[in-house]
Amino acid sequence: MKISKNALVYVEYPQLYQKKLLNALTTAGYSVISVVPDNSEKNLNRALKALEYVEIAILGGVLPIQNLEHAPNLKWIHFDWVGIEKILTRAMFEGGRIITNGSGRNSICLAEHVFYFIFTLTYGTRDIFISQHDHHWGVNHLNPYSCLFNKTILIIGTGSIGTEIALRAKSFGMKTVGYSRTLKEHNSAYDRQESKQAGVDLASLITQADFIVLSVPLNTDTYHLIDASVFEKMKKTAYLINISRGAIVDEKALLEAVSTRQIAGAGCDTFENEPLDKSSPLWDLPTMVITPHSTPQSPLKFEQGIGVITENLKRLKNGEVLLNSQSCNDVLN
């Protein structure tokens, strides 16, 4: 007698995409337990009961860590969002369990957000608005105006977000340099690709960049990756852009670098502690642009999210590496 495989779906998409998700799982041979992640006690208990026997869990909301760690038959957990570094534990990976996330679903809008920062900083938008408000013809901008053409943008993290950033940078005639933890296949979006695995020192790239953009996950390798030593190597005319995770940047070093004009400025959508404390001096720096973790959602978000899950179902069946796979190296604690 063939034993049925089981999957928990603890995520709620719009109706069309929810139907596609359930169909993908049933087509792959899974009986689906679908639970709405509405934080009600009833549905939470249903989800926890399912964890006692399912092989797959597709999660759009957080379930108790202990239950995920000790689910006896669970082979694959998919967290349907990106920032899962504070959820992961080493125990989740025991027994060869595979863990993936929803990275890439909002790459297009995050790439656009990078250029919101770049243009706001290089054009002196804050000063332009002040001049307009004062009916003053002329702008007192701290940094000289310069176009993006022929400038070098260093993108640390060459996944889907980094690639979308690089593609947009090339349309402005910028020189695109990508840096990753591991060796990557050639990607035409980058004029130059380097990696830690290949023995390339990030510092050698930092000194050449006019814009440094962070699009890496937060893990033990990237925690405070950008510290005082990095700021010291940056050009005085260079800008730092962070649309990944706040703790990748040492905020004390960032404050020092921007306030003393060691670098030209910075744009950050994320911070180590959010919301950013009202008393933080970062708010008042004239060459600092802050957005409250507020990138618009991509119109392709749900389609791409389903695409990752569907592709991974095929890879799981064939014993292949799953997209967006996490590792114990991504565990912070």
Closest CA to 127 of 117, 114, 138, 116: 138
224 is catalytic: no
Distance CA 175, CA 153 (A): 6
78 is catalytic: no
Mean pLDDT of all residues in 273-277? 96
Grade residue 2 by pLDDT with cuts at 50, 70 and 90: very low
Our CA angle for 319, 321, 327, nearest 5°, is: 125
Lookup: tokens for 9: 């779906």
- Is residue 151 within 8 Å of 210, Cβ to Cβ? yes
How many angstroms separate the CA atoms of 198 and 182, rounded? 8
- Average pLDDT score over residue span 112-138: 96
Q: What is the mean pLDDT of residues 212-240?
A: 96
The answer to whether the beta carbons of residues 120 and 289 sit under 8 Å apart is yes
pLDDT at 333: 64
Of these residues, 112, 293, 311, 315, which one is catalytic?
293
**What average pLDDT does range 229-240 have in this prediction?**
98
Band the pLDDT of 213: cuts 50, 70, 90: very high
On whether the CB atoms of residues 162 and 114 are closer than 8 A, the answer is: no
Determine the Cα–Cα distance for residues 264 and 36; give it in Å rounded to an integer.
Answer: 47
Over residues 152-173, mean pLDDT: 97
Higher pLDDT, 74 or 329: 74
Are 66 and 18 in contact by the 8 Å Cβ rule? The answer is no
- List, in order of start, the domains of the chain with CATH numbers: 5-103+300-330 (3.40.50.720), 107-290 (3.40.50.720)
Residue 1 is predicted with a pLDDT of: 33
User: Is the confidence at residue 85, as pLDDT, over 90?
Assistant: no
Q: Is 245 considered catalytic here?
A: yes
Q: Which of 52, 256, 274, 320 is catalytic?
A: 274
Confidence (pLDDT) at 3: 52
Between CA 333 and CA 261 the distance in angstroms is: 35
Q: What is the mean pLDDT of residues 193-218?
A: 96
pLDDT the model gives residue 90: 94
- Position 297 confidence tier, pLDDT thresholds 50, 70, 90: confident
Q: Say how far apart CA 221 and CA 225 lie, in whole Å.
A: 7
Rounded Cα–Cα distance for residues 283 and 325 (Å): 36
- Round to whole Å and give the CA distance between 237 and 235: 5
pTM for the model: 0.90
Catalytic residue among 78, 113, 245, 251: 245
